[in-house]
Amino acid sequence: MRFMRIGEAGAERPAMLAQDGTWRDISRLVPDLGPETLATAAEVLAGADLSLLPALSPDSQRVGPPIARPRNIWCIGLNYSDHAAEAGMAVPAEPILFTKPGSTLSGPTDPILRPAHARKLDWEVELGVVIGKPALGIAEADAMDHVFGYVAANDVSEREWQIERGGQWSKGKGYPSFCPVGPLLVTRDEVPDPQALAMELTVNGAVMQKGTTATMVFGVAHIVAYLSRFVLLEPGDLIVTGTPPGVGMGFKPPRYLKGGDVVELTVEGLGRQRTVVQDV
């Protein structure tokens, strides 16, 4: 199954791709795609006759984030060995965990906001994992049963705030719009191997990141099981799983985003984002 949420911010309607290639408004069956519904959404929609539902057009309407605001956004740091090297940090022995507030969530074409006191705004293309049922203390062998699906994400980061303002990573990750997600939410069954997805990010048309989830230090199943030892993973939770090399701070000299820059990214099978940096 492939999903979008289509409409203006705060008024998005959940949509599912029908067999005829049209997007259908499924809000009569599933009010939204988020914490209250994802645990049962696939079961409710299985076998539904989408042809009876209204059509929606992602070409003529805003596409929002494909999930409603999650209770939690969990993030894994330095999860690609070559990214750790460009950051001058050791490959971690265990997954590094930090969080982003739900207010960072934005759509795949919404602007990335750059406040006046942001001087080192950076990009990170990432595979996002959406939880479908609660997970606490689960085994790695069972972890994938708790995954609903996958999204493309950009873990936008302000490096001065992250690194030079007291060492708190979340501080540099939490400004509104710092987590563009989408356009698609694709269910787990349509992504047979999440460790074999190509990823790319460009800034103003120039390729900055080009990698594959095959080089993740800790794979999706390991991450889900590992996190469940320490926190309750809930339906609708988003896990962003790390980024390959090519982030702005890794260049010599570093390259950071400025107002008007166009950031485009794709994760194989999960659609393409196009966001513009907006000074505020």
Tens of each residue's pLDDT in the chain, 280 residues: 999 999 999 999 999 999 999 999 999 999 999 999 999 999 999 989 999 999 999 999 999 999 999 999 999 998 988 777 777 778 889 999 999 999 999 999 999 999 999 999 999 999 999 999 999 999 999 999 999 999 999 999 999 999 998 877 889 999 999 999 999 999 999 999 999 999 999 999 999 999 999 999 999 999 999 999 999 999 999 999 999 999 999 999 999 999 999 999 999 999 999 999 999 9
Say if CB 248 and CB 230 are below 8 A apart.
Answer: no
The token duo for 186 is 């694709």
Together in a domain, 161 and 255 = yes
What burial letters (b/e) apply to 171-195, b meaning 16+ CB within 10 Å?
Answer: bbbbbebbbbbbbbbbbbeebeebe
Which DSSP helix (H) or strand (E) runs through 163? helix 159-163
3 state DSSP class of 42: helix
Together in a domain, 110 and 36 = no
Q: Which of 14, 39, 63 is the last residue of a domain?
A: 63
Together in a domain, 126 and 105 = yes
Together in a domain, 50 and 80 = no
Which DSSP helix (H) or strand (E) runs through 60? none
Q: State the Cα–Cα distance between residues 128 and 145, nearest whole angstrom.
A: 16
Identify the domain containing residue 40 by its residue range.
Answer: 2-63
Together in a domain, 91 and 120 = yes
Q: Which amino acid, 182? A: G
Bridge partners (DSSP) listed for residue 106: 180
The token duo for 212 is 């594959």
Together in a domain, 59 and 143 = no
* Nearest in space to 256 (alpha carbons), one of 172, 195, 196: 172
Q: Which of 11, 40, 63 is the last residue of a domain?
A: 63
